[in-house]
A and B are shown apart, each in its own frame.
Chain A
């Protein structure tokens, strides 16, 4: 993922301006300086052709992309817009010092190292005690990595073994998601291996342009997961899954021996929803009047029916009724940690989501992404927002 690698593909942008139909930031701002087309043109002029100067405003505009990938997924010209923006950011931070580089270092440490995580959990708890950071997700008192490890045995006849790659959201904020996943998969006849030496998938750090750090994290993950003998590797977070399947290979030079392992591993990776969908029994009996709606995380495969595997699974497993919101795949505004820096834009995006959720008449919002979950809940505290696996577990108990 080096900017120079994209000097030809960036020219594939046809200027059709259809990115307006996809970009949540544009939809909130209604100003074309937020569009993918414009960012690509600027990157080309400032960083590739060097016909325009590198200015603070240029950096602001490049920084304001949420990396939700909606435009990329919507782009008929097939321009990998998100990767071009990441590689531009990587180049822009090369010589950067001071506060933002220090902050990046701290975030990376927390995501990567258990020791730093423990300190962060304590500091976070303390800060929240004093009413600070209501806009920041609260760390769980005990992370998932301390709740479960090793192999959890299948119930009944064993059908196979799966490894579980849990993301940072599950580990630090919502460990109950991980517990639900292990219970549901073991209940359906699979041993679940909870690996100990895995770390963040790197999505939060590439968003900051730190490709080298993301590569290091990913290398560790790939080595660890490849060493496990299993039939499948399941994930509960759509962003982690995107990172492994679509981005991991691009983090390394072409001649790096890791590619062989990436290919082998990617063949085994499955979303927990689609994995369970084929394993789980259809619930017999009547519906109990419960109504759920579903928010599609941005990093899920959009513009296809695959994005609604959750709806299929939940309907099948629980008998609850699905009521769609107007635009289930409209962004919620979180964009990982984007909302912390761009509060006003994010709140604007979220207010539309909140309205649509209310209008759906559902009693619970399901979504896989921990940051969507936190941010939606933050915008409508009265609403029940859950990971679909927790919801299923609650209802099939």
Chain B
């Protein structure tokens, strides 16, 4: 039994503390096992804000690193304990405290599973749009901490747009509750949104106050078959330019659709090189107008086929398959590294062309998929073999793609967060002054650097 474990058993029930190697190794990695795999010394399973606060007080006194963790389904290594220490697994704090239909708000604990929450609000005729495609497991606390996105960004924005307040446990165990239930607030600094996306480096998010929308009256799925990735990208820009705003607008190359066909019933015919998968929502009249605009954009640019999927059970298989795209890719390739570069939407065609030429010049296979409607692409490095040579090539391709995205006024991460996967690129996007300012804020809130150390920026300043 480790000494940290022994101490924490005085603070929590024994069953809430794990410190055997066979147990804590479950927390060594997130969904990106290839970039970090170090066991934490101890894992705690808090059941209340008080539990979290007590653990933080202990860690603060002992200067022990703390890593808050949601579902561990992240793609940037953000919740991995690269310096050991204590992992705070938030998943037992999973109560939906309130759904206020009158004010259209919800108050939830950080460990609430997104999918369960969504199911509940939709039954009440309400709508919570952000869905990073892992809603079966991901937690709302994790969504807030990473400013999670997903395909609905195009019409509805991402998590930060729906967070109006949080309860946060600070490095020294203090509990604060910035923001609140009000629609607008003009008093003081907006700490809520400072913490949203802070990836566990400033505080532990124990609760969230969320904004809800009315559930759209109707929705419709469309599938567009395109002759080339370029054509698909042009169509995306044209759809946006025409003022149609799909709720989801997904870009998929043929190979991605091929693996998704495992779940799609009946499967999509693979006669195109790229596909656009869309959902539009709103009143039935709005759907007709948008369908017309989308069809015009597609036929005008020579799409091979536009299909409206009118059977809801059938369209559900498309969207289910989309949520499984990442694990499905790993059945075909030994290693899959997914990027989330995001550019202004009219730059999607240029980005797609750059990625293709980078893939060709570096000599790696790059899969193209993404929430193209909001400018967010997921160029995915697909490795059939694992070798040092491949890793070097992958790193090179990632760096070039990131630079290409930044040249197009983009961001290095639209929705996955930085974690340790992209910290070497942070300065490229934000510049030295801005990163220095971020670090000043970090030091003010976390003087001993115990909150998820080593994330977002490199500690040794080793930027590219």
CB proximity of A57 to chain B, nearest CB, Å: 4
A15 pairs with B29, CB closer than 8 A: yes
User: Which of A33-41, A172-180, A334-342, A369-377 contacts the other chain?
Assistant: A33-41
Is A14 an interface residue, CB under 8 A from the partner? Answer: yes
User: Which of B15-23, B230-238, B240-248 contacts the other chain?
Assistant: B15-23
B26 pairs with A38, CB closer than 8 A: yes
Using Cβ atoms and an 8 Å threshold, which residues of chain A touch B92?
A: 30
CB proximity of A271 to chain B, nearest CB, Å: 21
User: Which of A16-24, A151-159, A280-288 contacts the other chain?
Assistant: A16-24
Report which of A15, A33, A75 forms a contact with B33, defined as CB distance below 8 A: A15
Is B354 an interface residue, CB under 8 A from the partner? Answer: no
Report which of A20, A57, A78 forms a contact with B20, defined as CB distance below 8 A: A57
A55–B334 alpha-carbon span in the complex (Å): 30
Digitize B107-136: 1 where CB-to-A-CB distance is under 8 Å, 0 elsewhere: 000010101000000000000000000101
A18–B31 alpha-carbon span in the complex (Å): 9
With contact pairs A18-B134, A33-B18 given, residues A12 and B330 touching in the complex (Cβ less than 8 Å): yes
A76 pairs with B26, CB closer than 8 A: no
Within 8 A of B (CB), among A135-160: none
**Interface residue count on the A side (C-beta < 8 Å):** 28
Report which of A16, A35, A52, A57 forms a contact with B326, defined as CB distance below 8 A: A16
With contact pairs A38-B25, A41-B25, A57-B23 given, residues A32 and B72 touching in the complex (Cβ less than 8 Å): yes
Is B328 an interface residue, CB under 8 A from the partner? Answer: yes
B327 pairs with A30, CB closer than 8 A: no
Using Cβ atoms and an 8 Å threshold, which residues of chain B touch A42?
A: 22, 25
A52–B27 alpha-carbon span in the complex (Å): 16
Digitize B322-341: 1 where CB-to-A-CB distance is under 8 Å, 0 elsewhere: 00101110110010100000
A77 pairs with B134, CB closer than 8 A: no
Is B71 an interface residue, CB under 8 A from the partner? Answer: yes
CB proximity of A191 to chain B, nearest CB, Å: 37
A78 pairs with B331, CB closer than 8 A: yes
Report which of B25, B73, B111, B115 forms a contact with A16, defined as CB distance below 8 A: B73
A35 pairs with B26, CB closer than 8 A: yes
Using Cβ atoms and an 8 Å threshold, which residues of chain B touch A52?
A: 21-22
CB proximity of B91 to chain A, nearest CB, Å: 5
B33 pairs with A12, CB closer than 8 A: no
Q: Which residue of A lies closest to B73 (CB)?
A: A17
Using Cβ atoms and an 8 Å threshold, which residues of chain A touch B111?
A: 30
A138–B22 alpha-carbon span in the complex (Å): 38
Digitize B12-49: 1 where CB-to-A-CB distance is under 8 Å, 0 elsewhere: 00000010111101110111110000000001010000
With contact pairs A14-B31, A18-B137 given, residues A31 and B330 touching in the complex (Cβ less than 8 Å): no
- Of the listed residues A32, A38, A42, A52, the one surrounded by the most CB atoms of chain B closer than 10 A to its CB is A32
Report which of A18, A20, A32 forms a contact with B327, defined as CB distance below 8 A: A18
CB proximity of A327 to chain B, nearest CB, Å: 10
Is A102 an interface residue, CB under 8 A from the partner? Answer: no
With contact pairs A17-B137, A21-B136 given, residues A61 and B22 touching in the complex (Cβ less than 8 Å): yes
Using Cβ atoms and an 8 Å threshold, which residues of chain B touch A61?
A: 22-23
Using Cβ atoms and an 8 Å threshold, which residues of chain A touch B18?
A: 31, 33
With contact pairs A17-B73, A32-B27, A33-B18 given, residues A76 and B137 touching in the complex (Cβ less than 8 Å): no
Q: Which residue of A lies closest to B136 (CB)?
A: A21
A14–B334 alpha-carbon span in the complex (Å): 9
Is B94 an interface residue, CB under 8 A from the partner? Answer: yes
With contact pairs A12-B331, A18-B136, A18-B137 given, residues A55 and B89 touching in the complex (Cβ less than 8 Å): no
A32–B31 alpha-carbon span in the complex (Å): 13
Using Cβ atoms and an 8 Å threshold, which residues of chain B touch A21?
A: 113, 115, 136-137
Q: Which residue of B lies closest to A62 (CB)?
A: B22
Within 8 A of A (CB), among B48-102: 71-73, 89, 91-92, 94
A77–B21 alpha-carbon span in the complex (Å): 26
A21–B320 alpha-carbon span in the complex (Å): 14
CB proximity of A60 to chain B, nearest CB, Å: 8
**Interface residue count on the B side (C-beta < 8 Å):** 37
Using Cβ atoms and an 8 Å threshold, which residues of chain B touch A76?
A: 262, 324, 327-328, 331
Q: Which residue of A lies closest to B123 (CB)?
A: A326
A84–B26 alpha-carbon span in the complex (Å): 18
Using Cβ atoms and an 8 Å threshold, which residues of chain A touch B94?
A: 30
A18 pairs with B20, CB closer than 8 A: no
Using Cβ atoms and an 8 Å threshold, which residues of chain A touch B327?
A: 14, 16, 18, 75-77
Q: Which residue of A lies closest to B263 (CB)?
A: A76
Q: Which residue of A lies closest to B29 (CB)?
A: A15
Using Cβ atoms and an 8 Å threshold, which residues of chain B touch A55?
A: 22
A33–B72 alpha-carbon span in the complex (Å): 12
Report which of B22, B72, B91 forms a contact with A57, defined as CB distance below 8 A: B22
Q: Which residue of B lies closest to A57 (CB)?
A: B22
Q: Which residue of B lies closest to A59 (CB)?
A: B22
Within 8 A of B (CB), among A26-70: 30-33, 35, 37-38, 41-42, 45, 52, 55, 57-58, 61
- Of the listed residues A17, A37, A75, the one surrounded by the most CB atoms of chain B closer than 10 A to its CB is A17
Q: Which residue of B lies closest to A305 (CB)?
A: B313
CB proximity of A151 to chain B, nearest CB, Å: 40
Using Cβ atoms and an 8 Å threshold, which residues of chain B touch A78?
A: 331
A14–B23 alpha-carbon span in the complex (Å): 20
CB proximity of B176 to chain A, nearest CB, Å: 26
B22 pairs with A58, CB closer than 8 A: yes
Using Cβ atoms and an 8 Å threshold, which residues of chain A touch B89?
A: 30-32
Using Cβ atoms and an 8 Å threshold, which residues of chain B touch A58?
A: 22
CB proximity of A6 to chain B, nearest CB, Å: 15
Using Cβ atoms and an 8 Å threshold, which residues of chain B touch A75?
A: 327
CB proximity of A23 to chain B, nearest CB, Å: 10
B136 pairs with A15, CB closer than 8 A: no
A216–B10 alpha-carbon span in the complex (Å): 52
- Of the listed residues A14, A30, A37, A75, the one surrounded by the most CB atoms of chain B closer than 10 A to its CB is A14
CB proximity of A226 to chain B, nearest CB, Å: 33
Q: Which residue of B lies closest to A22 (CB)?
A: B136
Q: Which residue of A lies closest to B22 (CB)?
A: A57
Q: Which residue of B lies closest to A326 (CB)?
A: B119
A16 pairs with B31, CB closer than 8 A: yes
A17 pairs with B30, CB closer than 8 A: yes
18 contacts between A and B (CB under 8 A): A11-B334, A14-B330, A14-B336, A16-B326, A17-B30, A17-B72, A17-B137, A18-B137, A21-B113, A30-B92, A31-B23, A35-B26, A42-B22, A52-B21, A52-B22, A57-B22, A76-B324, A77-B328
Given A21-B115, A78-B331, 8 other A-B residues pairs in contact with their CB atoms under 8 A = A12-B331, A14-B31, A16-B134, A17-B31, A21-B136, A30-B94, A33-B22, A75-B327
Please report A residues at the B interface, Cβ cutoff 8 Å: 11-12, 14-18, 20-21, 30-33, 35, 37-38, 41-42, 45, 52, 55, 57-58, 61, 75-78
- Interface pairs A-B: 10 shortest CB-CB: A21-B136, A14-B330, A76-B327, A38-B26, A32-B26, A76-B324, A20-B137, A57-B22, A33-B23, A15-B33
